[in-house]
């Protein structure tokens, strides 16, 4: 096996150069997917990838078979592979075998119902999310084992959360070894086994290769809290779809919230009022606005801002306090503070998708501010409330 070469510090890091390198596989009743994939990764002549740890997602029966065939003292094919090809330090034990849980939190024996499908999708998504949260890690995911739905969910999860250093593949095994339960990897010595159709074959003659599968990463469109927190597979997919869909903004002043990128976002009156000012300008087809000057109160700006603020809040004391703060007009510092807080809230809720809903300064001087949305992409909710649950 080849040892990974360390790149020049200024060059982009290759997967093999990350300090933590994870092989994540799914399997059903064929745990040899682990050793076949590990062999193919480490034996690659041009781009070897030796994992520092291996993780397996499987069923309850799959876990039992994996422990007996890969880790037991009698068979222990994982340990034999590491010895045969001098792969020290690859961590893989029973704690790295993750049994899928059903909707009731019980170990899953198989995927046989829509509820099982949803539970499997959420379980696999959570594993991928956790691994890709580590910026010092490169993930190689194999979809070769398990039910087709397991491979699909693993591939889709990597598309949602994958980064430039992550890879997706399917392992290919030459005949007649592909159909043999007794084959685990090409041995560097002669080992004769009997295949399922009764043939005798030498494992030293087997060929195992990886077919890398390109994937489109949607990670950049996911909100920060979905990347760092816990969300179902369906919720994560919905967030990715919303980020890629045309931008539409609905402002519900009465409920102090907006609907943007398919997500309902609560906003304090101070930030919502500023967004409402620019939403009305957009709807009216007006030209971008100049911001108030720093240190120079602008009565016209205070008037348009307070008009929206009064529409939003029914708290008279709160309105009076804001009116006192702006009695001489709104200056540049007040405007910038409100805009900065609005940007932060949108970014937290929507991630990169927030860019479509920000108040932009035009990019040239003199700065003129406006929403980048077209009039038909903006609306105010009047008597119809925003649908709950988005």
Query: Could you report how far apart the first and last alpha carbons of the chain are, in Å?
Result: 51
Convert the pLDDT of each residue in 338-390 to its tens digit: 999 999 999 888 877 888 999 999 888 888 999 999 999 999 997 344 444 44
CATH code of the domain in which 345 resides: 1.10.10.10
Choose the final residue of a domain: 238, 263, 286. 238
| Whether 257 and 144 share a structural domain | no
Reading the block at residue 39, the tokens are 């062999």
Task: Specify the pLDDT at position 109.
Answer: 87
In a domain, 158, yes or no: yes
Residue 390 to residue 381: CA distance in whole angstroms:
15
| Whether 142 and 222 share a structural domain | yes
| Whether 117 and 58 share a structural domain | yes
| Whether 23 and 135 share a structural domain | yes
State how many domains the chain has: 2
Q: Among residues 373, 336, 174, 105, which one has the least CA distance to residue 258?
A: 373
In a domain, 364, yes or no: yes
Convert the pLDDT of each residue in 59-101 to its tens digit: 999 999 999 999 999 999 999 999 999 999 999 999 999 999 9
Residue 251 to residue 371: CA distance in whole angstroms:
13
Question: Does 314 have pLDDT greater than 60?
Answer: yes
Question: Does 200 have pLDDT greater than 90?
Answer: yes
In a domain, 7, yes or no: no
Choose the final residue of a domain: 183, 206, 238. 238
Domain that includes residue 266, residue range: 247-380
Band of residue 47 on the pLDDT scale cut at 50, 70, 90: confident
In a domain, 1, yes or no: no
| Whether 49 and 162 share a structural domain | yes
DSSP string, 290-328: EPPPTT--BHHHHHHHHHHHHHH---HHHHHHHHHHTTT
In a domain, 28, yes or no: yes
**Percent helix, percent strand, percent coil in the chain, to nearest 5:** 40, 15, 40
| Whether 258 and 234 share a structural domain | no
| Whether 229 and 254 share a structural domain | no
| Whether 232 and 252 share a structural domain | no
Task: Specify the pLDDT at position 195.
Answer: 86
| Whether 316 and 370 share a structural domain | yes
Convert the pLDDT of each residue in 132-146 to its tens digit: 999 999 999 999 988
| Whether 264 and 214 share a structural domain | no
Percent of the chain past pLDDT 90, that is, above it, reads: 67
In a domain, 141, yes or no: yes
In a domain, 3, yes or no: no
| Whether 69 and 180 share a structural domain | yes
Task: Specify the pLDDT at position 358.
Answer: 95
| Whether 357 and 330 share a structural domain | yes
In a domain, 169, yes or no: yes
Choose the final residue of a domain: 238, 268, 286. 238
DSSP string, 173-199: E-TTGGG-TT--S--SS--EEE-TTS-
Bridge partners (DSSP) of residue 289 are 369
């Amino acid at each position: 096996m080849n040892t990974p070469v360390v790149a020049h510090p200024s060059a982009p890091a290759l997967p093999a150069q990350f300090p933590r390198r994870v092989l994540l596989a799914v399997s059903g009743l064929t745990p040899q997917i682990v050793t076949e994939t590990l062999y193919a990764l480490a034996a690659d002549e041009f781009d070897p990838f030796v994992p520092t740890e291996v993780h397996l997602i499987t069923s309850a029966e799959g876990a039992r078979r994996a422990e007996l065939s890969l880790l037991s003292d009698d068979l222990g094919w994982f340990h034999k592979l590491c010895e045969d090809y001098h792969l020290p330090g690859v961590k893989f034990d029973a704690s790295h075998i993750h049994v899928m849980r059903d909707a009731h939190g019980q170990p899953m024996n198989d995927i046989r119902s829509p509820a099982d499908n949803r539970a499997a999708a959420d379980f696999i998504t959570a594993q991928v999310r956790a691994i890709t949260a580590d910026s010092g890690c490169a993930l190689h995911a194999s979809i070769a084992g398990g039910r087709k739905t397991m491979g699909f969910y693993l591939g889709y999860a990597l598309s949602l959360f994958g980064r430039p250093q992550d890879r997706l593949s399917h392992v290919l095994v030459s005949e007649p070894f592909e159909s043999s339960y007794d084959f685990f990897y090409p041995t560097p010595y002669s080992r004769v086994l009997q295949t399922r159709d009764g043939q005798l074959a030498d494992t030293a003659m087997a060929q195992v290769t990886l077919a890398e599968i390109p994937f489109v990463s949607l990670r950049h469109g996911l909100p920060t809290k979905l990347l760092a927190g816990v969300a179902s597979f369906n919720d994560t997919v919905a967030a990715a779809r919303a980020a890629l869909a045309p931008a539409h903004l609905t402002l519900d002043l009465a409920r102090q919230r907006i609907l943007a990128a398919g997500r309902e976002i609560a906003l304090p009156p101070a930030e919502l009022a500023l967004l409402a000012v620019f939403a009305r300008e957009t709807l009216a087809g007006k030209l971008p606005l100049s911001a108030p000057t720093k240190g120079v109160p602008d009565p016209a700006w205070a008037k348009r801002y307070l008009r929206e603020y009064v529409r939003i809040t029914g708290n008279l004391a709160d309105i009076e306090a804001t009116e006192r703060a702006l009695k001489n007009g709104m200056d540049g510092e007040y405007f910038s503070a409100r805009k900065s807080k609005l940007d932060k809230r949108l970014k937290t809720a929507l991630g990169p998708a927030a860019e479509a809903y920000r108040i932009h300064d035009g990019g040239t001087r003199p700065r003129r501010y406006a929403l980048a949305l077209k009039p038909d992409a903006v609306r105010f909710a009047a008597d119809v409330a925003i649908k709950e649950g988005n």
